[in-house]
């Protein structure tokens, strides 16, 4: 070989030698596990620690943009109990990466289960700043003194980020679109938004209940930084942020957790999932194995991320009935999953210990009081739960086309139902993402279709709303309900904000109800009290009246009268708890709220001594068709 040829070959030999030395250097370093705690990609002053749980892998490597995606160059050291780790000085914030797991002949390219950012189309993890060694870093929102409202003062607005925007074309919309609407929500009176899941999901459109990467914030919606900005902006407006989390199943699409390290039984999901009859859910065979300590830690760490790093104010756990029971209901105790129950208890106990003001909501819908009972008494430790015992009978009463078929006794039961001693251990609503989809629609749509009369839709929607804000419980609206959004929820269909321009009166109606519920004027404190007496039920005239109070007296006692019939009621005798004048603080029948309303209005009623309805005083009241009036003194 000529000398000139040898010179041409030298750079290749040097490159190969350098590559061999680089691989050897990482192998020497990987003899001992990395000393840093935590999981996933943990950046620090001297690089990034990568740590993963893969108990059945025979070797684990990390590959990424920091080593030109060489798959077998950077091995992780094997720790105890199936954990692997390595410190990579070259890996910095912003680098993309994946794990390479080897088991027998299998070589598996996996997304980090703890990845806090995932980039399509290859689902690469991204090294991000986060909480390291208990120190807050760049991902955390601004430190503020904001505290979420107490449960009795809470008014929740559920929204879907992907469809909440205005004048931005077609979904999906993003966190910035939500930020733009926060002043509107503040003026409406909302003090908490509940976001349908914002974790990374497959594709561009989703309700969010199919989490593929539970630690990653959806880049479709704007990613971690924009989410942080939303939290800051909400707190500046005095609005708490609650996030829906999904721990009853993962995926099932694009699920890197599936058979993560190559091990599985019965063709099921492997280390992160049950591998027997408990794996089955209505969505897929992907129920997490709540009995494995590492999976319990995975879910617990996910909760801590939301609370510690993003500083959100609460969590709403999706479908908890499928965490505690394989079949999702209490009718089959043989299918109970005890470790699912203790998982919820343990996480809620930890949250309650560190900050009891964090809001803990269960969506169980099985009317099980133990979800909101104290942990030391065997309860799961949520402080409130979505209430099926309110939404179903109330929707039935306002949607039913025939007055004679409205059951006031069922309405009475819905008004006074409670879980245990705390009236606010239930979230009450007439619309939610579940109640306006999957074969069901918005109240105004259901009424218009059933009655063939669109004018009645606004009337009975307002009737339902008034009951939401006057019944003991935490009131909740679903996006657009306040301006009569119709149809049904679809992640491809944006909110029609033109309806807000067309229905300013209905928005005012909701604003007035929220002001009364939050006792803004100091005249209706009883609406945030624990007590209710449904003292008048007329199943013939379809009229019901109830008394709300905290301590009682002027500015506290509140009387609510609801007319479920399509006729005006005049000179109707009704019991009242105190003598004197009672001001009508709210009348849903005013034309100012909607041009189709009748504006039948009597602003003051006077109670005189004479026992009626087992109360010491009575008065005569008037109320319009399908209407609610709210009265108080002081």
45 and 169: one domain? no
543 and 483: one domain? no
Q: Is 334 exposed, middle or buried (0-12, 13-18, 19+ CB in 10 A)?
A: exposed
Is residue 218 one of the residues assigned to a domain?
yes
Is residue 142 one of the residues assigned to a domain?
no
Is residue 340 one of the residues assigned to a domain?
yes
User: What are the distances in angstroms from CA 186 to CA 157, 308, 345?
Assistant: 11, 25, 33
Domain boundary among 111, 126, 141: 126
333 and 379: one domain? yes
Helices (H), 305-379: 321-324, 338-354
The domain tally of the chain equals 3
The whole domain housing 43 covers: 31-126
356 and 225: one domain? yes
Is residue 155 one of the residues assigned to a domain?
yes
DSSP three-state, residue 453? coil
DSSP three-state, residue 629? strand
Task: Write the CATH number for 535.
Answer: 2.60.40.1180
| pLDDT score recorded for residue 6 | 40
Is residue 356 one of the residues assigned to a domain?
yes
109 and 254: one domain? no
What is the Cα Rg of the chain in Å? 29
405 and 470: one domain? yes
Task: Write the CATH number for 81.
Answer: 2.60.40.10
122 and 156: one domain? no
Domain boundary among 500, 517, 534: 517
229 and 173: one domain? yes
| 10-residue mean pLDDT series, the chain (634 residues) | 42 54 55 68 95 98 98 95 96 97 97 95 90 43 84 98 86 96 98 97 93 95 96 98 98 96 98 98 97 98 96 98 97 95 98 94 97 97 98 97 97 97 97 95 94 88 98 98 96 95 98 98 97 98 98 97 97 97 98 95 95 97 98 95
188 and 111: one domain? no
Is residue 146 one of the residues assigned to a domain?
no
Helices (H), 405-503: 408-416, 443-451, 454-470, 498-502
Domain boundary among 517, 541, 565: 517
User: What are the distances in angstroms from CA 320 to CA 54, 154, 218, 284, 506?
Assistant: 27, 22, 23, 16, 34
User: What are the distances in angstroms from CA 19 to CA 9, 28, 427, 535?
Assistant: 16, 14, 60, 83
DSSP of 99-121: EEEEETTEEEEE--TT-S-EETT
Q: Determine the Cα–Cα distance for residues 569 and 90; give it in Å rounded to an integer.
A: 78
342 and 480: one domain? yes
Is residue 181 one of the residues assigned to a domain?
yes
59 and 115: one domain? yes
361 and 302: one domain? yes
Is residue 595 one of the residues assigned to a domain?
yes
Does this model's pTM top 0.95?
no
Task: Write the CATH number for 363.
Answer: 3.20.20.80
| pLDDT score recorded for residue 170 | 84
């Amino acid at each position: 070989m000529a000398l000139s040829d040898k010179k041409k070959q030298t750079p290749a030999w040097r490159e190969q030698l350098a590559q061999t030395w680089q691989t050897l250097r990482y192998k020497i370093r990987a003899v001992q596990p990395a000393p840093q705690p935590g999981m996933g990609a943990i950046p620090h002053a001297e690089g990034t620690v990568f740590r993963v749980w893969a108990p059945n892998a025979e070797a684990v490597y990390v590959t990424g943009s920091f080593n030109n995606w060489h798959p077998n160059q950077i091995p992780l050291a094997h720790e105890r109990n199936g954990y692997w780790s390595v410190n990579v000085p070259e890996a910095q914030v912003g680098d993309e990466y994946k794990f390479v797991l080897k088991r027998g002949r299998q070589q598996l390219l996996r997304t980090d289960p703890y990845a806090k950012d995932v980039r399509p189309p290859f689902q690469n993890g991204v090294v991000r700043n986060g909480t390291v060694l208990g120190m807050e870093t760049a991902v955390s929102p601004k430190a503020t003194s904001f505290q979420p409202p107490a449960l009795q003062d809470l008014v929740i607005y559920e929204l879907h980020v992907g469809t909440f925007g205005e004048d931005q074309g077609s979904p999906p919309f993003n966190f910035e679109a939500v930020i733009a609407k926060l002043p509107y929500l503040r003026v409406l009176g909302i003090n908490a938004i509940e976001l349908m899941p914002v974790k990374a999901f497959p594709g561009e459109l989703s309700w969010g209940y199919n989490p593929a990467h539970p630690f990653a914030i959806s880049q479709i919606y704007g990613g971690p930084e924009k989410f942080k900005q939303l939290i800051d902006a909400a707190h500046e407006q005095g609005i708490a942020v609650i996030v829906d989390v999904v721990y009853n199943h993962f995926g099932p699409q694009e699920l890197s957790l599936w058979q993560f390290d190559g091990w599985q039984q019965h063709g099921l999901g492997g280390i992160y999932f049950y591998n027997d009859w408990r794996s089955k859910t209505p969505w897929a065979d992907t129920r997490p194995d709540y009995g494995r300590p590492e999976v319990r830690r995975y879910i617990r760490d996910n909760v801590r991320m939301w609370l510690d790093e993003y500083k959100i104010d609460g969590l709403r756990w999706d479908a908890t009935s499928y965490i505690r029971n394989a079949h999702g209901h209490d009718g089959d105790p043989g299918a109970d999953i005890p470790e699912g129950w203790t998982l919820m208890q343990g996480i809620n106990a930890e949250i309650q210990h560190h900050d009891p003001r964090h809001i803990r909501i269960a969506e169980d819908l099985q009317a099980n009081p133990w979800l909101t009972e104290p942990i030391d008494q065997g309860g799961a430790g949520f402080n409130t739960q979505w209430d099926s015992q309110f939404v179903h009978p109330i929707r039935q009463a306002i949607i039913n086309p025939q007055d004679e078929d409205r059951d006031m006794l069922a309405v009475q039961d819905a008004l006074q139902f409670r879980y245990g001693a705390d009236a606010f251990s239930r979230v009450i609503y007439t619309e939610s993402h579940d109640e306006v989809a999957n074969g069901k629609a918005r109240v105004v749509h259901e009424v218009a279709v059933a009655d063939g009369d669109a004018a009645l839709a606004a009337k009975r929607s307002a009737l339902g709303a008034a009951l939401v804000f006057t019944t003991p419980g935490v009131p909740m609206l679903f996006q657009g309900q306040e301006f009569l959004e119709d149809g049904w929820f679809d992640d491809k269909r944006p909110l029609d904000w033109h309806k807000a321009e067309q229905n300013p009166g209905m928005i005012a109606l909701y604003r007035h109800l929220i002001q009364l519920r939050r006792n803004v004027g100091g005249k209706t404190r009883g609406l945030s009290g624990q007590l209710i007496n449904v003292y008048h039920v007329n199943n013939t005239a379809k009229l019901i009246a109830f008394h709300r109070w905290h301590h009682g007296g002027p500015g506290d006692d509140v009387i609510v009268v609801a007319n479920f019939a399509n006729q005006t009621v005049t000179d109707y005798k009704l019991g009242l708890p105190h003598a004197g004048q009672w001001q009508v603080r709210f009348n849903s029948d005013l034309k100012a709220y909607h041009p189709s309303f009748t504006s039948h209005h009597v602003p003051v009623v006077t109670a005189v001594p004479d026992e009626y309805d087992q109360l010491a005083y009575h008065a005569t009241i008037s109320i319009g068709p399908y209407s609610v009036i709210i009265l108080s003194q002081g």
